[in-house]
Amino acid sequence: MTNNPLANLSVLQLKRAVAIREQMQTLQNELDRLAGVQSASGKNSAAPQKRKGKMSAEARAKLSASMTARWAKIRAAKARAERSRK
């Protein structure tokens, strides 16, 4: 036995329920439009963008140093590989 109240309705009653639900949705969309609410199907319906925090000067310096070291390591490995080929 299910607890769904729609399970006991006839086909005609179900069709009427669907029609009423569609009317309710249409009226809700119209009300939202009048109130200036953006609908879920609107262009800008995505979640608001998070603000990006600014990096401190110290953090930028650390990042720069680590990337410089990383690329130096890659260049050194590349130079070793070229020397071993000759």
- Two tokens at 61? 């310096």
* Contact predicate 46/39, CB 8 Å: no
Residue 14 contacts by C-beta under 8 Å, 6 or more apart in sequence? Answer: 6
- In tens, the pLDDT along 44-61 reads 555 677 777 888 999 999
CA triple 14-17-22, angle to 5 deg = 130
- Two tokens at 70? 């990383």
Indicate the SS3 state at residue 39. coil
The band of 73, judged by pLDDT with boundaries at 50, 70 and 90, is very high
Gyration radius of the chain over CA positions: 31
